[in-house]
């Protein structure tokens, strides 16, 4: 247990837990601390008195910055600007959250008079480093990673299912990760320049992310939660998609509930093995699941999991992912110097050979608020659609009105279909070609 002591200050940032030994695939330190990297901005604001977090607005250019001849907010065809996508100035040095803020998709709009050329600038001298995003581990697949951790655990005398009393502290309510003080992690989208995120992606998914940035920056946001579409697997890590977590832990099954517009239900089946005869590892039928299927094993009171059979989808403000997405996740108890349980350090490594050029990692803390015997219970969410895409615009529709509605193809990028049908007339979508980034 002493190896699982994190630190006396329970709400430090997303620093990794030292497992107490040299592991082949868990607990390696982060290359950078997000708290030490300022937010790229321009920050979205929620009120007339909120501070502007960018460097220039209203069509002005920051001092010392030479703008490009054309950028995301002045272009007539972003597809033809591919050579510029690797330059932060093409996005006016905006973070993903900053792009969403420009047209008022979150907070107050920064664009003036619906004129995209007036879009605000973020901080061109800020960025969270790429080396702190990519996985430090030497594995090419989730299967290799999971099997290496399992072999390591066997060498140490495990795995063995703990007694109920040994994991009783796990069961309870956990604070919303995005609002826990100091709980900064890159996937929240505040600390990244867009080109840094694009450098993680294959050419097809680079194009998809720039397409999304363009339309969100021009007021054409298509968020699945607006229409009660599925949220998708990666939204578990998005700051706006999940509130407090409820965790119920047993030696055989651990269940994690969370959500805002939709319910996220993660069932971790301890000791089970995947069927390996399909397109991807799976537990049930050869049908992708919106939130995947998850197996795991215990190393002491640390839970190590493997998720596969995920339905590819989108995350507004972040990159899309494919049906080949898989994760290895490590949930490690955090305790203070007296041994009191504080919460769970959640380390997740993402493998997607279709979307990602190399695996990436997210580390965050789930800080326990209380047991399940106190406070408000988990509220199950039933999403009732009241907003519909009318002429490509997300529009509230009141009861009694009759509208023309095209049933979306949920497996055919319905958000992109709306954009291409209504807002890309005259643009030329090229076939994906070579990567615009090189790190040799």
- 361-404 pLDDT, tens digit per residue, is 999 999 999 999 988 888 899 999 999 999 999 999 999 999 99
Instruction: Specify whether the CB–CB gap between 25 and 328 falls below 8 A.
Output: yes
Beta bridge partner(s), residue 303: 298, 331
Q: Which H or E element spans position 149? A: helix 142-155
Give the pLDDT band (50/70/90) at residue 3.
very low
pLDDT at position 6 over 60: no
Give the pLDDT band (50/70/90) at residue 241.
confident
Is pLDDT larger for residue 254 or for residue 431?
Answer: 254
Helices marked H in 290-412 — which ranges? Answer: none
What contacts 404, CB < 8 A, 6 or more positions away?
none
Helices and strands of the chain, counted as H and E runs: 5, 11
What Å distances lie between residue 49 and 46, 58, 76, 159, CA to CA? 8, 17, 34, 55
Which one-letter DSSP state was computed for residue 362? E
* Spatial CA neighbour of 171 closest among 83, 263, 257: 257
pLDDT at position 7 over 60: no
CA angle (240 as vertex; 346, 132 as ends), nearest 5: 45
Q: Mean pLDDT over all residues of the chain?
A: 91
Give the pLDDT band (50/70/90) at residue 438.
low
Which one-letter DSSP state was computed for residue 123? -
State how far the Cα of 228 lies from the Cα of 242, in Å rounded to an integer: 15
Average pLDDT over residues 26-31: 95
Average pLDDT over residues 309-317: 95
Q: What tens digit of pLDDT does each residue of 121-152 get?
A: 999 999 999 999 999 999 999 999 999 999 99
21: burial class by Cβ within 10 Å (0-12, 13-18, 19+)? exposed
State how far the Cα of 145 lies from the Cα of 25, in Å rounded to an integer: 7
The predicted structure's pLDDT at residue 4: 42
* Spatial CA neighbour of 327 closest among 285, 280, 287: 280
The predicted structure's pLDDT at residue 433: 58
Which segment of 78-82, 90-94, 188-192, 355-359 scores lowest on mean pLDDT? 188-192
What Å distances lie between residue 177 and 132, 242, 331, 388, 425, CA to CA? 19, 8, 14, 30, 40
Angle, helix 203-217 to helix 414-422, in steps of 10 degrees:
60
State how far the Cα of 239 lies from the Cα of 234, in Å rounded to an integer: 11
State how far the Cα of 215 lies from the Cα of 52, in Å rounded to an integer: 22
What Å distances lie between residue 369 and 13, 182, 244, 350, CA to CA? 17, 16, 9, 27
Instruction: Specify whether the CB–CB gap between 146 and 304 falls below 8 A.
Output: yes
The predicted structure's pLDDT at residue 436: 64
The predicted structure's pLDDT at residue 2: 34
The predicted structure's pLDDT at residue 147: 98
State how far the Cα of 177 lies from the Cα of 81, in Å rounded to an integer: 37
pLDDT at position 164 over 90: yes
State how far the Cα of 305 lies from the Cα of 106, in Å rounded to an integer: 34
pLDDT at position 238 over 80: yes
State how far the Cα of 310 lies from the Cα of 292, in Å rounded to an integer: 4
State how far the Cα of 266 lies from the Cα of 348, in Å rounded to an integer: 14
Beta bridge partner(s), residue 308: 293
The predicted structure's pLDDT at residue 34: 87
Cis peptide before 234 (omega within 30 of 0): no
State how far the Cα of 120 lies from the Cα of 137, in Å rounded to an integer: 38
Give the pLDDT band (50/70/90) at residue 434.
low
What pTM did the predictor assign? 0.93
pLDDT at position 225 over 70: yes
SS3 371: coil
CA angle (423 as vertex; 421, 424 as ends), nearest 5: 80
Which segment of 46-60, 141-155, 275-289 scores lowest on mean pLDDT? 46-60
396: burial class by Cβ within 10 Å (0-12, 13-18, 19+)? exposed
What Å distances lie between residue 40 and 35, 98, 133, 181, 360, CA to CA? 12, 8, 16, 19, 20
Is pLDDT larger for residue 436 or for residue 270?
Answer: 270
Which one-letter DSSP state was computed for residue 102? H
């Amino acid at each position: 247990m002493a190896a699982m002591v994190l630190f006396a200050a329970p709400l430090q940032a997303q620093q990794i837990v030292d497992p107490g030994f040299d592991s082949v695939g868990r607990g390696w330190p982060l290359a950078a601390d997000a708290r030490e990297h300022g937010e790229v901005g321009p920050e979205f604001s929620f009120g007339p008195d909120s501070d502007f977090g960018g460097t220039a607005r209203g069509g002005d250019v920051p001092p010392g910055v030479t703008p490009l001849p054309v950028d995301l907010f002045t272009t007539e065809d972003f597809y033809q600007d591919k050579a510029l996508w690797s330059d932060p100035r093409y996005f006016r040095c905006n973070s993903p959250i900053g792009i969403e803020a420009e047209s008022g998709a979150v907070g107050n709009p920064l664009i003036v008079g619906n004129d995209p050329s007036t879009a605000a600038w973020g901080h061109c001298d800020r960025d969270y480093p790429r080396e702190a995003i990519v996985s430090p581990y030497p594995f090419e697949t989730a299967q290799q990673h999971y099997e290496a951790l399992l072999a390591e655990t066997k060498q140490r005398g495990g795995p063995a299912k703990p007694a109920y009393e040994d994991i009783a502290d796990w069961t309870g309510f956990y604070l919303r990760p995005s609002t826990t003080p100091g709980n900064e992690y890159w996937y929240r989208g505040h600390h990244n320049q867009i080109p840094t995120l694009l450098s993680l992606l294959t050419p097809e998914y680079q194009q998809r992310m720039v397409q999304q940035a363009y339309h969100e920056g021009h007021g054409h946001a298509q968020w699945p939660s607006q229409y009660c579409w599925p949220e998708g697997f990666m939204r578990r890590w998005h700051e706006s998609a999940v509130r407090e977590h409820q965790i119920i832990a047993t030696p055989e099954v651990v269940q994690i509930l969370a959500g805002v517009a939709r319910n996220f239900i993660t069932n971790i089946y301890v000791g089970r093995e995947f069927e390996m005869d399909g397109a991807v590892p799976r537990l049930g039928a050869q049908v992708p699941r919106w939130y995947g299927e998850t197996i795991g094993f215990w190393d002491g009171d640390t839970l190590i999991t493997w998720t596969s059979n995920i339905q590819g989808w989108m995350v507004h403000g972040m990159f899309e992912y494919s049906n080949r997405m898989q994760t290895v996740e490590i949930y490690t108890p955090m305790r203070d110097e007296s041994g009191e349980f504080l919460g769970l350090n959640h380390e997740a490594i993402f493998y997607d050979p279709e979307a990602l050029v190399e695996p990436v990692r997210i580390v965050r803390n789930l800080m326990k608020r209380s047991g399940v015997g106190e406070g408000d219970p988990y509220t199950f969410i039933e999403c009732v659609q009241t907003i519909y895409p009318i002429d490509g615009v997300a529009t509230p529709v009141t009861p009694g009105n009759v509208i023309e509605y095209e049933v979306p193809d949920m497996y055919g990028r319905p958000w992109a279909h709306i954009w291409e049908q209504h807002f890309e007339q005259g643009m030329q979508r090229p076939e994906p070609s070579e990567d615009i980034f090189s790190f040799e």
